[in-house]
Structure formats: C-alpha cells, structure tokens
Amino acid sequence: MSKTTSRHIPIRQLESVLRPIHQASGLGNEFYTDQAYFELERDQVMGKTWACVGFASDLQKNGTVNPVEFMGLPLLLMRNREGLVQVFHNVCSHRGMKLVEAPGEVQGVIRCPYHSWTYDLNGALKGTPHIGGINQHKDERFACEKHGLKPIRSAIWMDMVFVNLSGDAAPLEQMLAPLTERWTQFLGEDGMSLLRRNASGDASTLEVNCNWKLAVENYCEAYHLPWVHPALNTYSRLEDHYNIQFAEHFAGQGSYAYKLSETAGTNLPTFPSWPQDRLRNAEYVAFFPNVLLGIQADHAFAMQLQPIAPGKTIEHLRLFYVGDEAVRDDYAACRSAVLEAWRLVFQEDVASVEGMQKGRASPGYQGGAFSPEMDVPTHYFHQWGARQLLAVARSAEASE
Ligand code: FES
Ligand SMILES: [Fe+2]
C-alpha cells in the first residue's frame, strides 16, 4: 500500500508548505484523515526516525512484558531478568499469532497460546512441543535459533522507550543532543539524571479524536492561550511566551511566567543547577515526531502521542520530579496538585484539536495559513513533515 500511496503524494501541495511562512499553507487534509497516508507515515516518516512507544518505568519489575500497538503494528516491550528493556515484534514465529495480549510478569517463559511454542525474555525460541511429531519436541530439520522473536532497534531516554523501525536512523543520543545542550542552561550537565517518577502514580492518559500531528501542532504554539486556557492565562500571558524552533526536529514555546507551583500550592524540590533568577522560566518542546516535553524548575513531563488511527490518538503523560525525596509520600499531595493542573490544561486542549480534526473533512480547507509571528513553531513542524514526505515522493519517483 505504501508504494502506491507514495506515488500519489501531492508534491505541489507539500512544496507550498516549504514557502516562507507568510506565503505557506499547511499540510493538506489527506495527511490527517486518510488511512493509507497514516500507514505511509508509520513506515516512511515515523519508522525512519525514533518514535516513542512507551515508558521503561511502566515495566516495574524484571521479567515483565508490555504489549503495545504502534500505528497498527503489535510490539512487545520486555524487561528481561537482568533488567534490560528490549522491544520485539509481538508475533509468534510459527504461524504468526499475536504472542502477548496483556501486560504482566512472566513466570518462566512466554508461551504462545496457539501451539505452545515458548520464548525467553530475550526473545530466543526455547520450546517447540511435538514439532517433530508426537513427543518429538525437537526436529533436526528445524533450527530453533533462527526463529526467535524479531527484535526492533530501541533506545531509552528520560524513561521513554523509542524505536527505530528502519534500523538506520542516526543514534537517538545524537538526535537529542541539540535539546540536551540547550537545556544545560537550566539543568546543568547532569540534571536529567535527577529525574524520578513515582511509578504508581504521576501518570495520566487521555484519548482524543484527532490525528497525532494536531496534538503536536497545538503544543507548539501559545497563540491559543487566552481563549483555550483562561486559568493558565491569568498568570502566564501571551506576552510572557517566546517561540522555540531549532535543529529541524524540535519546536515549541517557552514561558517567563511559570507559576504553577504557586498556583497549585506546592513546594517541590528544584533542580540544583536551575538559575535562581530564572525560576519562572519554563520550556515546552516537541521532539518530532511524537514526544511532547516540558521542563520547569521543580518538575518535568513527557507525553507520548500514540497514534491509533488517522483521527484518533492516545496521549500518555508522565511526570517526573527532582531527586529521590520528591517522589516520597511527603510530597504526594504536591505531586497530585501538579498532575491535576496539567490534566486540566491538556483537557482544555481537547476541544481545539478535535475541532481541527473535524475541520479536515471540509474541502473548504486546504492546509490553511499561518500567523507570521505566532505560528512560527507550528510552521516549523509542518516544514519538517513536508520535507520527510517529499523525500518519500521523490524516491518513489526515482525508482519508477
Ligand atoms: S502460532 Fe504460536 S505456536 Fe503456533
Ligand atoms: Fe493548549
């Protein structure tokens, strides 16, 4: 399907995205509504870089598994007996049954429910009952070692488990370096290592009826603040924000008026390196394609956007605090106040992103327009998307 779809990518429409912002239009409706483009994005855009598929701390104990769906692909996150997290295709090597249906701890081995083939927590095929006939559990014509689970290149950063389906993207660390360098001004050299999450909480999930890109676009701009987030806007006003866009795959916004801790009445520990005269500075940056990050002096958050269908996305939010003490019970009330405040903000965005999705059924809309000042980060994201899709279209053309 991808190949046929690649040949129909609307090249001129994508080129119009790359124009200077005052002349540009955004990505066309089909990129938000069409299943074929959704799969093309999975294989040719998301799949060629690093996409977040879950959180390592959700696999709390060694020897646990967590099946996840990534744009229709069944994947399996596993923490082996030594604590290493790896990702595999969640499919049995025998007749292709989906292997694991529910998260949990594995006693012994992973057993396929169909013919009971078993795998260890590193994906190796261990048992093949009756494969050579009744009571013949081995067969010399069949090499077990060639039929383990199929691994997927993965890496972890800030507790997020990323996969690179194509296997040939630049290392994750290299992709993230421009952001980690930018944030040393707040976190110092080792601030990230202080992040802690209370694994039994500090999490929230929200299902939204919109394409995953609309969640990114909405996150990139502060423009909607006065109308969509009236409470937030009382202390963090439009004029307190600045645009952020850099290194091709990061965009978002910063605020000079972060006061959430005061508003929520919390006194959480702060990063030791955070400049004392900038405690109200906060930054909200999307790491393309599907991660939304936020840092404040007293906590950070990461949101994984899990695209389910062209018009459906699940937002997985995880909050992180500074140092061991911050995740103890003494701070439980502070942490739930912070979580509640963010849940409200993200909930307030739902009507906007769902409204934009509905608007994309209209032939009266063909990518729209951008404010040359307020939509710079949003346009930056569109340009990133258009460049990836144009590269796909051009390589399809070249192979004809
Ligand atoms: S499909 Fe899994 S054992 Fe047959
Ligand atoms: Fe918002």
For the chain, the structural domain boundaries read 1-48+170-400, 52-155
Amino acid (1-letter code) at residue 330: D
Residue of 89, 90, 97 best suited for mutating to test ligand 1, as the one with most atoms within 8 Å of CB:
97
149 CB within 6 A, ligand 1:
no
What is the CATH class of 52-155?
Answer: mainly beta
Low-confidence ranges of the chain (pLDDT < 50): 1
Q: CA-CA distance, 128 to 117, in Å (whole number)?
A: 5
CA 272, chain centre distance (Å): 28
Q: Which ligand is nearest to the CA of 219?
A: 2
Question: What does the H/E/C string look like for the chain?
Answer: CHHHHHHCCCHHHHHHHCCCCCCCCCCCCHHHHCHHHHHHHHHHHHHHCCEEEEEHHHCCCCCEEEEEEECCEEEEEEECCCCCEEEEECECCCCCCECCCCCEECCCCEECCCCCCEECCCCCEEECCCCCCCCCCCCCCCCHHHCCCCEEEEEEECCEEEEECCCCCCCHHHHHHHHHHHCHHHHCCCHHHHEECCCCCCEEEEEECCCHHHHHHHHHCCCCHHHHCHHHHCCCCHHHEEEEEECCCEEEEEECCCCHHHHHCCCCCCCCCCCHHHCCCEEEEEECCCEEEEEECCEEEEEEEEEEECCEEEEEEEEEEECHHHHCHHHHHHHHHHHHHHHHHHHHHHHHHHHHHHHCCCCCCCCCCCCCCCCHHHHHHHHHHHHHHHHHHHHHHHCC
Amino acid (1-letter code) at residue 118: T
99 CB within 6 A, ligand 1:
no
Q: Which ligand is nearest to the CA of 111?
A: 1
Q: Which ligand is nearest to the CA of 112?
A: 1
Report pLDDT for 3.
63
The yes or no reply on domain 1-48+170-400 and CATH 3.40.50.620 is no
94 CB within 6 A, ligand 1:
yes
130 CB within 6 A, ligand 1:
no
Torsional sign, CA 15, 20, 24, 28 = positive
Closest ligand 1 atom number to CA of residue 96: 1
Q: Which two tokens stand for residue 133?
A: 């006939």
110 CB within 6 A, ligand 1:
no
Q: Which ligand is nearest to the CA of 114?
A: 1
Report pLDDT for 2.
57
Report pLDDT for 265.
75
Residue of 90, 99, 101, 112 best suited for mutating to test ligand 1, as the one with most atoms within 8 Å of CB:
112
The pTM of the full predicted model, rounded to 2 decimals, is 0.96
Report pLDDT for 264.
72
Closest ligand 1 atom number to CA of residue 97: 1
114 CB within 6 A, ligand 1:
yes
Residue of 92, 101, 111, 137 best suited for mutating to test ligand 1, as the one with most atoms within 8 Å of CB:
92
- Write the residue with the smallest CA distance to atom 1 of ligand 1: 95
Q: CA-CA distance, 293 to 252, in Å (whole number)?
A: 9
- 107 CA → ligand 1 middle, Å: 19
- 251 CA → ligand 2 middle, Å: 14
